[in-house]
Copies of this chain bind each other. A is one copy, B any other.
Amino acid sequence: MDMKNPKYKNQGIHVDMVVFTVDDKKIKTLLVQRGRKPFVGEWILPGGAVYNDESVDFAAERELEEKTGLKDLYLEQLHTFGNPKRDPRKRMVSVAYLALVDKKKVSILQKTSKTLDAKWFDIKKLPDLAFDHKEIVRLAVKSLRKMLIYSNIAYTLLPCQFTLPELQGVYEIILGEKFDRRNFRRKFLNLGLIEATGKREEGMANRPANLYRFKAKKYKAVDIL
């Protein structure tokens, strides 16, 4: 490959993160408000340029922490968007990532030096997004639904200890479908992914639910439904 060829010059690589959480019976995603041209003031996915000396995966982690303060969350490459017109300034390829986080961590969106104004949005009520970011979110939702059905990824969306109704809620909210409580419970317990902690919920004005935990907090392909 000829480095000087103008056909290839001045290309840029970007990462964009779609961070999802389930909160208040909605799927929510984190958006930040853009401070620079073009699209000043519009909402965009958190993300930024990949540096020359870091891997693209690392850039995703770094940018997410710099722009939102979130770190150590589940992060997976989703798709690469490469339309030459997607950024009006220059050829910019964006590697999109899907990130999942438990709603308990949602509140600790601390500000760092580079943190922008970040806000969680119900994915059914997204504002207009700059660039092709709406398309990226759409693909991320599709992927999230598949992952939920074909893996144990729900562990990333729940606290260490959770109740079966909470787990079922995550499935119902994301898939937009109701499940029979008895069948859901039996199915999930038979899969062997979770175990009872022996503890129970407290302080509810009703019968307290048993608490469970995932045996392994690591991605595993499993047919759930």
| A contact residues vs B (CB 8 Å cutoff) | 1, 3, 5-14, 36, 48-57, 59, 77, 79-84, 89-91, 93, 95, 146, 150, 221, 223
Question: How many monomers of this protein are in the complex?
Answer: 2
| 19 additional contacts (CB under 8 A) given A7-B51, A8-B52, A11-B52 | A1-B12, A1-B49, A3-B89, A5-B49, A6-B52, A7-B49, A7-B52, A11-B12, A13-B91, A50-B82, A50-B93, A52-B84, A52-B91, A54-B84, A55-B83, A56-B80, A56-B82, A56-B83, A59-B82
CB<8 Å pairs between A and B, sample of 15: A1-B14, A1-B49, A3-B89, A7-B49, A8-B49, A8-B51, A11-B11, A11-B13, A13-B93, A50-B82, A55-B82, A55-B83, A56-B83, A56-B93, A77-B79
Chain B residues contacting A95 (CB-CB under 8 Å) are: 80, 82, 93
Give the distance in Å from the alpha carbon of A56 to the alpha carbon of B1 in the complex: 17
A139 to chain B, nearest CB (A): 11
Give the distance in Å from the alpha carbon of A217 to the alpha carbon of B211 in the complex: 47
A77 to chain B, nearest CB (A): 6
| Cβ 8 A contact of A80, one of B52, B77, B83 | B77
Give the distance in Å from the alpha carbon of A77 to the alpha carbon of B3 in the complex: 25
Give the distance in Å from the alpha carbon of A3 to the alpha carbon of B91 in the complex: 11
| 4 closest Cβ pairs, A-B complex | A56-B82, A52-B91, A80-B80, A7-B51
Give the distance in Å from the alpha carbon of A138 to the alpha carbon of B47 in the complex: 29
Given A8-B52, A84-B55, also A93-B93 (CB < 8 A): yes
* Candidate in A5, A48, A53, A56 with the most chain B CB atoms within 10 angstroms: A56
Give the distance in Å from the alpha carbon of A223 to the alpha carbon of B210 in the complex: 33
Give the distance in Å from the alpha carbon of A90 to the alpha carbon of B47 in the complex: 23
* Candidate in A12, A84, A89, A146 with the most chain B CB atoms within 10 angstroms: A84
Give the distance in Å from the alpha carbon of A36 to the alpha carbon of B1 in the complex: 8
Q: Which B residue's beta carbon lies closest to that of A96?
A: B80
Chain B residues contacting A82 (CB-CB under 8 Å) are: 13, 50, 55-57, 59, 95
